[in-house]
A and B are shown apart, each in its own frame.
Chain A
Amino acid sequence: MADVTTAGREHTEHAPHVHVTPIWIYLVVFFALAVGTVLTVAASRFDLGMWNTPIALIIATIKAVLVILFFMHVIHSTRLTWVVIIASFLWLGVLFVLTFADYLTRLWKIY
């Protein structure tokens, strides 16, 4: 009976699963985000050649990942949550890659 009744629903308990994050983690993440903001501004003051845009993107991505993992508790979330997030960015990637596939090859020679 027990094995049958739990088979359909994943991870169901009677009360929600409470995972309380220690305050120091929130503070460390906050400082990391603040430092990231300062770094973005600082990097934009210097000419890094072809690295200007990638650096800004990398810092922003790291900041976003920190917020997602810790402020949004994804690090403790179900695999399904991870799938939803990764799928969203994968689909967005499809939009970017296939749209750019047109624009970046328009001027190529036709043989």
Chain B
Amino acid sequence: MSDVTLTGNVPVPEVDHAGHGQHHPFLQHHFEDLGQQHEASTLGMWMFLSTEILFFGGVLCAYWIYRVMYPEAWAVGAAQQIWWLGAINTIVLIISSLTMALAVRNAQLGRRMATVYMLIATLFFGSIFLGVKGYEYAKHYEEGLFPGVAFHWNEVPALAPKVELFMTFYWTLTGLHALHMVIGAGLLLWFIKRAWSGHFGPEYYGPVEIMGLYWHFVDIVWIFLFPFLYLIHGAHHG
């Protein structure tokens, strides 16, 4: 059978990508082939996203405990948000997810410039999201809705400490989300350069796919954050 005898086998030298004509330039030497490399990296990304689910899920668990404890304060807190800015941002982020998905598709088909354009569009919509978020942050800060010493909101004095708690979750959740967006935007810049250099194609589109998984995940987080932070019923009953 397949008994491998290695007596007298000359040690294989360090794999030199340039010297191996039959190897894809981006095949790392510890993988057998691009298929294995692709599956390993996609699986790795999914596992990373599962840590992200538990990461955001942890703070959401705390959020829900207090939402059940203090329903009124939560409704009043959500009423401090400008709901239509959140709605616009949701749509903007969904559009960026669509362009990201199309970027992956173009990479799969080996369309170099179409990939680049779609990645640029994703970056563009992502930046709009961050811009709107920044405007909201500035407004909240002015209104004294930043938790801690800067907190001056006192429309309903009895609820003020609990509303501060809501705003703590608001800033923590949206802040962590925005941090993920900023990291994603940085990655997009790098991917635009790589796509423009023609690194991706039907044989090797895994990195774009993984970038897409990350971006869509960040989108999903916002899909939940929007109703959780902007649209809690009972707001207009005050």
List chain A positions with a Cβ less than 8 A from chain B.
Answer: 1, 4-5, 9, 11-18, 20-21, 23, 26-27, 29-30, 33-34, 37, 40-41, 44, 47-48, 52-53, 56-57, 59-60, 63-64, 67-68, 70-73, 77-78, 80-81, 84-85, 87-89, 91-92, 95-96, 99-100, 103
- Nearest neighbor of B94 in chain A, beta-carbon distance: A33
Interface size on B, as a range, is 35 or more
The residues in B between 183 and 237 inclusive whose CB is less than 8 angstroms from any CB of A are 202-206, 209, 212-213, 216-217, 219-220, 223-224, 226-227, 231-234
- Nearest neighbor of A78 in chain B, beta-carbon distance: B39
In contact, B91 and A37 (Cβ under 8 angstroms): yes
Let me know if B153 is at the binding interface, CB within 8 A.
no
Residues of A within 8 A of B223 (CB): 33, 60, 63-64, 67
In contact, B105 and A21 (Cβ under 8 angstroms): yes
A48 to B61 CA separation, bound complex (whole angstroms): 24
In contact, B105 and A15 (Cβ under 8 angstroms): no
Residues of B within 8 A of A27 (CB): 98
Stretch at the interface among B46-54, B132-140, B142-150, B170-178: B46-54
Residues of A within 8 A of B50 (CB): 84-85, 87-88
In contact, A95 and B57 (Cβ under 8 angstroms): yes
* Among B204, B205, B231, residue most surrounded by chain A Cβ atoms (within 10 Å): B231
In contact, B233 and A53 (Cβ under 8 angstroms): yes
A84 to chain B, nearest CB (A): 5
In contact, B38 and A16 (Cβ under 8 angstroms): yes
A82 to B203 CA separation, bound complex (whole angstroms): 24
